[in-house]
C-alpha cells in the first residue's frame, strides 16, 4: 500500500518547464508552481551563494527489502539513494539538456550504431581508487546477458558489445541505430560502480556523498564526499533518509519540522502547505501521466470506434480539478508531454462529449457498453477515486464502468498486463526520450504494451525515427506517431500530473525539474541549507 509510484522511473526527457505548457515555456525559465512560485525563499536566485554544511533530512518511500544495488533498486528510496551515492555517464542538467557527468564527451558514427564515449579523468571512488574504463564496462555489463537480474536489462539489450579503447575511452556497438543512446545512461540503474564491486551494504561510488549507515526500510545516512570532483555541487554536510510510507505521517513530519524534503506530495496537501508557511512547495510539470489501457485484443475494444467512445466519455478537466487540484495538465491520449520539444502542437484536444461517445458506440454497432476497470493504489494513491470520476462521466454516454480496486501487492504482476482484463489503470513517470517512451509502451513488441495494441505502420516509423539523426525529419516522424496513438491506440490518458515536492523553509537552491520528484532525484546534490 506504500508503493505509490511505479518503480520503473527513468527521468523523463526534460526541456521546457512551465506547467501551462507551451504558452509559457516561451517565457524561458519560468517557475512551474504557478502563482506562488517566485515568492518561495528557497528558489534559486543568482545572487545567493550556496552555504556548506548542515544535515538534510528527507522522508522517503521505502521498504525493508531495499538495496543499494542500482540494478535491483526499488521504490523511491532506491532512486534517491542512487543519485546520492553514485554518478552516471551523463546527467540531465537543471537546464533540461543532456550534460556530461562521468563521460566528458561522446560521438556517434553515421547510422548511430557505434558510439565512442570519452571518460572523465582523475575521478576518485569513495575508497580512493581512480575511475577507469574497466569500472564503466563492469557497470554496464552488470545489466546485460543471460544471468542479468537488472531492471535495466531490457534497456541494455540492444547493446552488442562494449569495448575498451583506452584507459578512459570505450566504444559501444548496437544491434540497430539509436540516436538517443546517451540518454539511456542517465537513469538510476546505470550508476557507475568500481570494477567487480558487489558489497551493497557498503556501496562505493563517485557521488557527492559517502554512505555512512544503511538500515533497509528504516534509514540511511551519508557524509559529504571531501574529494568530490564536481564544482559547486553537494553542499550539505550530512544527508539522512528516513523511510516514511504513511501518507498522513509524511505530511505531518514536514509540518512539524522533522524532515526538510518530501517528494510525491499529495495534491490535496498543496494548498494547506503553502498556506501554513511551514513548507515550500515546488511543482515540476513533466512527463508523468495516468493511463487507462483498453485491451485491444479483446472484443469489443478491438473496434477502434469503441476506443474512440471511451476517449470521449471521460471528463479530463474534472479529474484535473478535483483529484489533482489543478496540479497538472489535461492529457490527449498520447504520451508525449506538452513540455517536450517533440510535442505535437497541432493535434486537436479530445473533449468530453457524451453525445459523440454515443455516436461512436453506434458506429461500432452497440447500444451501450459495460466494462470492468481495474485500479489499484499500487499505481497512485486515490486511483480508485479517479476511476469513480470516469464512471460518473461515462454513464452519461451510455458506458457503464465497474471500478475495481485491486490490492496494491500483486497488482503489477497479476492484474496489469493480464490479457483477460478489459481495462487497467497505470501510471508512467515519463522517459528521457520519446523513443524510449513509445518503444516501452506502444510498440507492438513493447515489454509493457498495456493496451495490447499493435500497428505495423506505427512500428515501422518508430524504428526509422530511432536511427534518424536529422532533427527536422525526427520531429515530423514523432508528430505522426503521436497522432496515430491519439486516434487509434487503446489508451485513454486523462491527465499529466505535476511532480510535487515540499521542502522546509531553510532549504535553498530549489528549482522545478521536470524529470522526476525531488529535483529529478538529484536534490541532495543541488540544494543547500540556510543557517
Partner 1 sequence: MGRLILRRGGTGGLLVLASTLLLFLAGEMMPGDFASKLLGASATPETVEALRLSRGLDASPAARYLAWLGGLLHGDLGLSLTNGREIGALIASRLGNTLLLAGLAAAVAVPLALALGTLAAVFRDSWIDRAVLVLTMVTVATPEFFFAYVAIAVLAVELNWLPSISIPRPGMSVWEVLQVLVLPVLTLVVTSTAHVARMTRASIVAAMEQDYVGTAMLKGLPRGRIVLRHILPNVAAPVSAVVVMTLADIVVGLIIVETIFAYPGMGQLMVDSVAKRDITVVQACGLIFAATYIFLNMAADMLAIAFNPRLRSAR
Partner 2 sequence: MSLHDITAPPLRAPGFARLPVLAAAAFCLACLAAAVAAPVLAPHDPADLVALPWQPPGDGFLLGTDQLGRDMLSRIIWGARVSIGLSAAITALAFAFGVPAGLAAAVLGGWADQAMSRTVDLFMALPPLILALLALSVTGTSLVTLTLVAAFLAALRVFRLSRALGVDLATRDFVDIARLRGEGTLRIAACEILPNAAGPLIAEAGLRFVFAFLFVASLSFLGLGVQPPMADWGGMVRENAGALNYGGIAPLVPAAAIALLAISVNLLGDRAAGGRTGR
Question: Which chain residues interact with partner 1 by CB under 8 A?
Answer: 1-3, 6-8, 63-67, 69, 72, 74, 146-154, 200-201, 213, 215-219, 242-246, 248-249, 252-253, 255-259, 408-410, 412-414, 416, 447-448
- Number of Cβ within 10 Å of residue 45's Cβ equals 10
Least distance from C-beta 464 to partner 1, angstroms? 25
Residue 384 binds: one of partner 1, partner 2, none (C-beta under 5 to 8 A by kind): partner 2
277: CB partners within 8 A, 6+ apart: 505
Whichever of 95 and 321 has its CB closer to partner 2, that residue is 321
Least distance from C-beta 141 to partner 2, angstroms? 37
Residue 268 binds: one of partner 2, partner 1, none (C-beta under 5 to 8 A by kind): partner 2
- Strands 55-60 and 103-108 turn out to be unpaired
Residue 173 binds: one of partner 2, partner 1, none (C-beta under 5 to 8 A by kind): none
Least distance from C-beta 255 to partner 1, angstroms? 5
502-525 as b/e: b if 16+ CB within 10 A: bbbebbbbbbbbbbbbbbbbbbbb
Whichever of 350 and 375 has its CB closer to partner 1, that residue is 375
**Residue 217: φ, ψ to 5°:** 80, 0
Whichever of 244 and 493 has its CB closer to partner 1, that residue is 244
38: CB partners within 8 A, 6+ apart: 31
Least distance from C-beta 1 to partner 2, angstroms? 4
Q: 227, 125 in Cβ contact below 8 A?
A: no
Least distance from C-beta 65 to partner 2, angstroms? 16
The secondary element (H helix, E strand) that includes residue 172 is strand 169-174
Distances from the Cα of 462 to the Cα of 98, 153, 291, 440, 458, angstroms: 22, 21, 21, 11, 6
Whichever of 421 and 491 has its CB closer to partner 2, that residue is 421
Q: State the SS3 of 176-228.
A: CCCCCHHHHHHCHHHCCCCCCCCCCCCCCCCCCEEEEEEECCCEEEEEECCCC
Whichever of 148 and 317 has its CB closer to partner 1, that residue is 148
Least distance from C-beta 216 to partner 2, angstroms? 20
Whichever of 8 and 323 has its CB closer to partner 2, that residue is 323
Residue 165 binds: one of partner 1, partner 2, none (C-beta under 5 to 8 A by kind): none
Three cell numbers written together for 490: 487503446
Contacts with partner 2, residue ranges (CB under 8 A): 1, 247-248, 251-252, 255, 266, 268-269, 272, 318, 322-323, 377, 384-385, 387-389, 391-392, 403-410
Least distance from C-beta 327 to partner 2, angstroms? 14
What is the three-class DSSP state of 340?
coil
Whichever of 80 and 251 has its CB closer to partner 2, that residue is 251
Amino acid at each position: 500500500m506504500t508503493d505509490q509510484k511505479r518503480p520503473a522511473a527513468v527521468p523523463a526527457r526534460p526541456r521546457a518547464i512551465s506547467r501551462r505548457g507551451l504558452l509559457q515555456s516561451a517565457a524561458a525559465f519560468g517557475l512551474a508552481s504557478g502563482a506562488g512560485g517566485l515568492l518561495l525563499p528557497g528558489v534559486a536566485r543568482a545572487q545567493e551563494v550556496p552555504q556548506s554544511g548542515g544535515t538534510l533530512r528527507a522522508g522517503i518511500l521505502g521498504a525493508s527489502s531495499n538495496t543499494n544495488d542500482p540494478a535491483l533498486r526499488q521504490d523511491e528510496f532506491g532512486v534517491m539513494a542512487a543519485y546520492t551515492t553514485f554518478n552516471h555517464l551523463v546527467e540531465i542538467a537543471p537546464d533540461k539538456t543532456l550534460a556530461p557527468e562521468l563521460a566528458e564527451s561522446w560521438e556517434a558514427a553515421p547510422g548511430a550504431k557505434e558510439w565512442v564515449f570519452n571518460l572523465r579523468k582523475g575521478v576518485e571512488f569513495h575508497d580512493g581508487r581512480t575511475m577507469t574504463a574497466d569500472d564503466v564496462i563492469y557497470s554496464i555489463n552488470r545489466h546485460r546477458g543471460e544471468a542479468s537480474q537488472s531492471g535495466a536489462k531490457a534497456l541494455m539489450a540492444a547493446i552488442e558489445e562494449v569495448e575498451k579503447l583506452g584507459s578512459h575511452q570505450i566504444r559501444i556497438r548496437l544491434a540497430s541505430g539509436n540516436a538517443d543512446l546517451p540518454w539511456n545512461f542517465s537513469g538510476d540503474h546505470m550508476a557507475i560502480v568500481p570494477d567487480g564491486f558487489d558489497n551493497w551494504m557498503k556501496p562505493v561510488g563517485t557521488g557527492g556523498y559517502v554512505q555512512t549507515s544503511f538500515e533497509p526500510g528504516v534509514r540511511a545516512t551519508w557524509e559529504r564526499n571531501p574529494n568530490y570532483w564536481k564544482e559547486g555541487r553537494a553542499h550539505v554536510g550530512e544527508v539522512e533518509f528516513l523511510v516514511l510510507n504513511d501518507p498522513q505521517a509524511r505530511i505531518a513530519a514536514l509540518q512539524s519540522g522533522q524532515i526538510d524534503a518530501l517528494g510525491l506530495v499529495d495534491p490535496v496537501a498543496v494548498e494547506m502547505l503553502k498556506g501554513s508557511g511551514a513548507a515550500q512547495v515546488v511543482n515540476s510539470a513533466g512527463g508523468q501521466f495516468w493511463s487507462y489501457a483498453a485491451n485491444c485484443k479483446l472484443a469489443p475494444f478491438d473496434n477502434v470506434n469503441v476506443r474512440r467512445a471511451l476517449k470521449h466519455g471521460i471528463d479530463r478537466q474534472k479529474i484535473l480539478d478535483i483529484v489533482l487540484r489543478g496540479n497538472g495538465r489535461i492529457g490527449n491520449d498520447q504520451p508525449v508531454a506538452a513540455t517536450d520539444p517533440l510535442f505535437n502542437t497541432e493535434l486537436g484536444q479530445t473533449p468530453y462529449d457524451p453525445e459523440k461517445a454515443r455516436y461512436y458506440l453506434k458506429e461500432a454497432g452497440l447500444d451501450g457498453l459495460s466494462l470492468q476497470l481495474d485500479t489499484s493504489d499500487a499505481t497512485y494513491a486515490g486511483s480508485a477515486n479517479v476511476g469513480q470520476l470516469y464512471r460518473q462521466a461515462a454513464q452519461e454516454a451510455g458506458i457503464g464502468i465497474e471500478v475495481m480496486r485491486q490490492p496494491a501487492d500483486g497488482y503489477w504482476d497479476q492484474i496489469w498486463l493480464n490479457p483477460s482484463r478489459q481495462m487497467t489503470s497505470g501510471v508512467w513517470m515519463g522517459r528521457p526520450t520519446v523513443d524510449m517512451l513509445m518503444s516501452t509502451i506502444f510498440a507492438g513488441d513493447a515489454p509493457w504494451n498495456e493496451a495490447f495494441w499493435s500497428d505495423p505502420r506505427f512500428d515501422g516509423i518508430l524504428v526509422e525515427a530511432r536511427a534518424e539523426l536529422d532533427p527536422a525529419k525526427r520531429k515530423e516522424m514523432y508528430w505522426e506517431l503521436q497522432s496515430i496513438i491519439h486516434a487509434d491506440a487503446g489508451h485513454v490518458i486523462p491527465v499529466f500530473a505535476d511532480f510535487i515536492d515540499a521542502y522546509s523553509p531553510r532549504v535553498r537552491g530549489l528549482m522545478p525539474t521536470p524529470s522526476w520528484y525531488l529535483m529529478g532525484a538529484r536534490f541532495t546534490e543541488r540544494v543547500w541549507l540556510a543557517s
